[in-house]
Amino acid sequence: MARPIIRRTAIVVNPRRVVQQFAQCFDGSTPELLVRAPGRVNLIGEHTDYNDGFVLPIATEQATWVAVAPGQGRAVRAHSVALNETVRIDLDNPGPPGGSQRWVDYVRGVAACLISSGYRLAGADLLVDSDVPVGGGMSSSAALEVGVAKALLGISGDMVETVELALICRQAENRYAGVPCGIMDQFACLLCRKDEALLLDCRTQHYEHVRVQLQGACFVVIDTQVKHALGRSEYPLRQQQCRQGVEYFRQMDRKVQALRDVSPEMVSRHLSQLDPVVAARCHHVVTENQRVLLAVDAFKKGDLGQVGKLLLASHESLRDRYEVSCAELDSAVEVATGVEGVYGARMTGGGFGGCVVVLAREDAVKPLTEAIEKRYNRVHPKPARILKTLAAAGAGLETL
C-alpha cells in the first residue's frame, strides 16, 4: 500500500470541494456531516507530555476535513484525496493492532478503539482531505484520528466526552500505528480554542485556555519537509532514558513517579552521580516544564519579547541536552532569529525534522520568507515551506 506523501506546494482545502469530491467518490451521494480537525503547533513544552509535565499547543488553521454519510451494513469505506486511495474496514473485524503507520491503520485503529471502549458504530462512507503537512511537526496523525472519530461517532449517533475521546484516539495511535506518543496532540486537536493556547497538565489532564495576545504578531511555521528515519527509534529511546532518570531519583524519594516530580535543583545536585546522557535528558525536561509556566505568564502579560526568549531557550535545550534537533531545524531557527521583528523560534513536535515555529511581527513575515529563501533554501537540498497561522479552533462539525 502507498505511504503518505509530502505535498510540495502549499494547498488549502476548500470545504465545498470536499463535498463535491465526496459525491464523485461515492456514486453521487451527499455527505451528512463535515468535520474539521486541525493540526497543532506546540508553542513550548516539548517531550514533557510523557513525563507528566506541561505543554502549550495551539490548533492551526491548517486542518484535516472529513465528509461522512451512512454506509452499507457494517462497512466503513474511506477515501484519501491526498493518496487517491479507498480502503474498506469491516467494523465487526477491524483487524489486529499493527505498527505500520499506513493511513488505513489510523482509520481502523480509531474504529477498533471506539468499539472496544463500548461505543456503537455504524457503517459509513468517509472522504478525507487535509492541508496539514504530513511527516512531522504539526500532528497530521492526531488530526486524522480525531477527524475520523468525530465523523464515525456523528454518523452513528453516539457521543463521547472530549477527554475520553482524546485518550481513545491516542490509544489508536499507540496500538494501531505503533507510535508510543504522549497525550498532547489529540488533546490539542480536540480542546484548543480560537485565539487561545491550551495549557495542559499531562498528569492530571487539567487544562486552561490561555489567551494569546499577539498585538500584530503571528505564528509562522517553517516546514523543513525533512523527516529523519532516526526519529522513530530515538523517540522510545528518549522515553527510556527519562524512565532511567525517574528510577534514579525514586531511590532517594519514593514519591517521584515521573520527571514532573523532579526539580532543576535536584538534577543539578546529582549531576556527577547520574549517567551524563540521562542527566542531560532530565535537565531538559525539568527546565522545559518551568519554561512552559513562564511562557504562560508572559503571554498573559502580553510580553512577547519574553515569550521569544523562552522559545529560543527551549530550542537550545532540545538541541544540546535532549538531542532531538537536526541540522535543518537548527539552521531554520538561526535564520529566523536573525530577522528583525522575530521574537523567537524553536523546533516544534518530536524533532529529527519537521517544523520550526516562529513568533514574529506581521511585518517581519516577508523578510523572514526572503531570509529562508536566501539563507536556508540555497544551502539545504529540500526547500522549506512557510505557513502562517493564528491560534485556531479545535475540532468540530462544520456547516455543509
- In the bound state with ligand GLA, the residue whose beta carbon lies nearer, of 4 and 182, is 182
From 52, 185, 223, 363, active-site residue? 185
The pair phi, psi for residue 189, each rounded to 5°, is -60, -40
Residue 344 Cβ vs ligand GLA, minimum distance, rounded to whole Å? 17
Residue 231 Cβ vs ligand GLA, minimum distance, rounded to whole Å? 9
The secondary structure of the chain in percent helix, strand, coil, rounded to multiples of 5, reads 40, 25, 35
Residue 284 Cβ vs ligand GLA, minimum distance, rounded to whole Å? 11
- The stretch among 44-52, 94-102, 157-165, 293-301 that binds ligand GLA (CB under 6 A) is 44-52
Q: Report DSSP letters for 135-202, one per residue.
A: SSSS-HHHHHHHHHHHHHHHHHT----HHHHHHHHHHHHHHHS-----SHHHHHHHH--TTEEEEEET
For helices 304-320 and 327-337, give the axis angle rounded to 10 degrees. 160
Q: Does 182 bind ligand GLA (CB under 6 A)?
A: yes
In the residue annotation, 185 being an active-site residue is answered as yes
Residue 350 Cβ vs ligand GLA, minimum distance, rounded to whole Å? 3
Q: Does 234 bind ligand GLA (CB under 6 A)?
A: no
Tell me the three cell numbers of residue 169. 484516539
How many residues of this chain bind ligand GLA (CB under 6 A)?
Answer: 10
- The stretch among 21-29, 177-185, 240-248, 363-371 that binds ligand GLA (CB under 6 A) is 177-185
Q: Does 319 bind ligand GLA (CB under 6 A)?
A: no
Residue 64 β-bridge partners: 37, 130
CA 205 to chain centre: 17
Nearest Cα to Cα of residue 132 among 2, 1, 3, 6: 6
Q: Does 49 bind ligand GLA (CB under 6 A)?
A: yes
The H or E element that residue 105 is part of is helix 103-116
The pair phi, psi for residue 157, each rounded to 5°, is 75, 20
Q: Does 185 bind ligand GLA (CB under 6 A)?
A: yes
Under 8 Å between Cβ of 26 and 69: yes
Q: Does 133 bind ligand GLA (CB under 6 A)?
A: no
Nearest Cα to Cα of residue 104 among 207, 4, 216, 14: 4
Which of 46, 125, 131, 145: binder of ligand GLA (CB under 6 A)?
A: 46
Which of 35, 36, 37, 50: binder of ligand GLA (CB under 6 A)?
A: 50
Which of 71, 94, 344, 350: binder of ligand GLA (CB under 6 A)?
A: 350
Residue 318: partners with Cβ closer than 8 Å, 6 or more residues away: 46, 47, 284, 324, 325, 346, 347, 351
- In the bound state with ligand GLA, the residue whose beta carbon lies nearer, of 156 and 348, is 348
**Alpha helix positions (H), 253-376:** 264-269, 276-301, 304-320, 327-337, 365-371
Tell me the three cell numbers of residue 224. 523543513
Which of 25, 76, 165, 181: binder of ligand GLA (CB under 6 A)?
A: 181
Which of 38, 44, 47, 280: binder of ligand GLA (CB under 6 A)?
A: 47
Q: Does 321 bind ligand GLA (CB under 6 A)?
A: no
Catalytic residues: 185
Binding site for ligand GLA (CB under 6 A): 46-47, 49-50, 181-182, 184-185, 349-350
